[in-house]
Amino acid sequence: MRLHHALFGPLDDAGNRREAVTRRLGGAIALGLLGDGEQLPPEQELATSLNVSTVTLRDALAELREKGLVETRRGRGGGSFVRMSGAGLSALSRERLTEMGVSDLREIGDLHVAVAGTAARLAAERASEAEIERLRELVTRLRAAEGDADVRRIDGRLHIEMAAAAQSARLTMMEIELQGELAQLTWRASAGRSGSELADARRLVVEAIGGRRADRARTLVEQQLGDETLRLIDDHIRLMRDRAGEEG
Amino acid sequence: MISGTREDHDVAEVVVEVVERVFATVDEVRRSTLAVHAAATAAGRRLSDDDVHGLAPELLARMRRPDEVAVGLGVILEPGLLGHPHLRLEWWQWVAGKDDPARLEVDLRPDSLDFYDYAGTEWFAVPRRTRRRHVVGPYVDVHGTDRYLLTLTMPVEADGEFLGVAGADLPINRFEALVLGRLGAGSAGVVVNDDGRVAFSTSSRWVIGSLCRGEMPPASRPLPGLPWRVYDWS
Last residue of a domain, one of A84, A110, A135: A84
A102 with A198, same domain: the answer is: yes
Taking 50 as the threshold, does the pLDDT of residue A97 lie above it?
A: yes
Residue A9: the pLDDT is 85
A80 with A95, same domain: the answer is: no
- Is A31 in contact with B112 (Cβ distance < 8 A)? yes
What is the mean predicted confidence (pLDDT) over B12-36? 96
Residue B2: the pLDDT is 46
**pTM of the prediction?**
0.86
Query: Tell me, what CATH number does A37's domain have?
Result: 1.10.10.10
Of B1, B26, B48, nearest to B134 by C-alpha is B26
Please tell me if residue A126 touches chain B, with a CB cutoff of 8 Å. yes
* CA–CA gap between residue A225 and residue A112 (Å, rounded): 7
Residue A191: the pLDDT is 52
A39 with A104, same domain: the answer is: no
The partner residue sitting opposite B209, judged by closest CB among A3, A167, A179, is A167
8 A C-beta contact, residue A56 and residue A21? yes
A112 with A134, same domain: the answer is: yes
* CA–CA gap between residue B32 and residue A146 (Å, rounded): 45
Please tell me if residue A238 touches chain B, with a CB cutoff of 8 Å. no
A-interface mutation test, from B71, B94, B140, most A Cβ less than 10 A away: B140
Of A130, A156, A108, nearest to A209 by C-alpha is A130
Taking 50 as the threshold, does the pLDDT of residue B3 lie above it?
A: no
What are the chain A neighbours of B201 within 8 Å (beta carbons)?
none
8 A C-beta contact, residue B38 and residue B158? yes
A215 with A161, same domain: the answer is: yes
**DSSP collapsed to 3 states, A124-187:** HHHCCHHHHHHHHHHHHHHHHCCCHHHHHHHHHHHHHHHHHHCCCHHHHHHHHHHHHHHHHHCC
A95 with A200, same domain: the answer is: yes
* CA–CA gap between residue B14 and residue B227 (Å, rounded): 16
Give the tens place of pLDDT for each residue, B85-132.
Answer: 999 999 999 987 788 999 988 888 877 777 888 998 999 999 999 999
Query: Tell me, what CATH number does A175's domain have?
Result: 1.20.120.530
For A161, how many CA atoms within 13 A lie in the half-sphere containing its CB? 26
8 A C-beta contact, residue B76 and residue B91? yes
* CA–CA gap between residue B79 and residue B89 (Å, rounded): 10
Question: Comparing A88 with A6, which gets the higher pLDDT?
Answer: A88
A143 with A242, same domain: the answer is: yes
Position A189 confidence tier, pLDDT thresholds 50, 70, 90: very low
The total number of structural domains that make up chain A: 2
In three-state secondary structure terms, B83 is coil
Q: How far is CA A30 from CA A38, A82, A192, A219, B199, in A?
A: 13, 11, 14, 29, 37
A98 with A210, same domain: the answer is: yes
A114 with A131, same domain: the answer is: yes
A98 with A79, same domain: the answer is: no
Q: Mean pLDDT, chain B, as a whole number?
A: 91
Residue B75 CB coordination number (10 Å): 24
A99 with A68, same domain: the answer is: no
Residue A73 CB coordination number (10 Å): 11
In three-state secondary structure terms, B32 is helix
Report H helices in chain B: 11-42, 49-53, 56-64, 122-130, 172-182
A-interface mutation test, from B71, B113, B135, B146, most A Cβ less than 10 A away: B113
- Is B114 in contact with A32 (Cβ distance < 8 A)? yes
For A87, how many CA atoms within 13 A lie in the half-sphere containing its CB? 4
Give the ipTM of the model, two decimals please. 0.81
What are the chain A neighbours of B107 within 8 Å (beta carbons)?
4, 33
The pairing of strands B148-158 and B102-103 is unpaired
State the Rg of chain B over Cα.
Answer: 19
Taking 70 as the threshold, does the pLDDT of residue B1 lie above it?
A: no
Boundaries of domain holding A79: 3-84
